[in-house]
Amino acid sequence: MRIFIMSLIVILTSFPVFLHSQTDKVKQYLQMIGIGKINEVKSRMPDMLAIYPNDPGVMLLHGIVIEDLSKSIEIFEKIIKNFPKSEFADDANYRIVQYYVLTGNINKANSELESFRGRYKDSELLIIASDLLNSASKVSDSKKVTLTKEESKPEATKKDIASKVVVEEKKTIKEEPKQKNNAAYGLQVGLYSNHEAAKSEMQKFQNQRMFAEIKVKKVDNVNYYAVIIGNYSSKESAEEAKAIVKSICKCDPIIYEKDK
């Protein structure tokens, strides 16, 4: 009986240590994702999910690395609902706002930001989410103004505008080279001769929970360091994201084709 009690005490006193260790591991993996090691984290997810299927930190990692974005949102919402006081809950809420911003659903992003503010008013991620949404809203408003001016011209009917869009799309498709299957794309937001300068720039975006990495580019046999934002499955997706990224980096992003 005494042995049983002692064993129980050991288990109970060890539990906080295991929990703390698991939390540290999740934070370490989040940092790895931030520096572009998403595939490395993804490869470790099956084991982590098998051991900690209901851990909010592990769930957050799972939602970040899976390719099905609708499934990611479901996971993030589940974290907020079932683990509202978890230290990872505000991160999950931030990523929901980020998702709707990057997919151009500004109204939904606004709604989610208000919910975020109501749940986690002291979260440091609120400022980042708000800045991201404000930048995206300016881009969206600019597009609306441009479209309104075009429609207000007497000679420009909706049919004319639609026809113009179709022609421009066909022209773009004709000029683009044939895409490689399974190619990945990013947006280059800076090119540096100094690695430390590139790293500093990359960290600015990582602090906003954006996927950022450094790629080496050889120009005239000299190595330069390109800061790349995002991980898009197609050139079209990267093109659609350019306006939002441009408003954030205050630069003119260049589409960058990554190695397979």
Q: Note the pLDDT tens digit of each residue in 234-254.
A: 888 788 778 778 877 888 889
| pTM score of the predicted model | 0.57
Model confidence band, residue 165 (pLDDT cutoffs 50, 70, 90): very low
Whether the per-residue pLDDT at 95 is higher than 90: the answer is yes
pLDDT at 116: 96
The DSSP letter of residue 194 is S
b/e burial code for range 15-51 (CB count within 10 A of at least 16 → b): eeeeeeebbebbeebbebbbebebeebbeebeebeee
CATH topology of domain 2-135: 1.25.40
What are the sequence ranges of the domains in the chain?
2-135, 185-257
Q: Over the chain, what is the mean pLDDT?
A: 77
When pLDDT is averaged across residues 86-104 and rounded to a whole number, the result is 91
User: Residue 112's pLDDT band (boundaries 50, 70, 90)?
Assistant: very high
Per-residue DSSP letters for 95-117?
HHHHHHHHTT-HHHHHHHHHHHH
* pLDDT of 100 over the 60 cut: yes
CATH classification of 185-257 is 3.30.70.1070, yes or no? yes
- At residue 139, the pLDDT reads 64
- Cα-to-chain-centroid distance, residue 206: 9
pLDDT digits (tens, 9 = 90+) for 189-225: 988 888 998 898 888 887 777 788 899 988 778 889 9
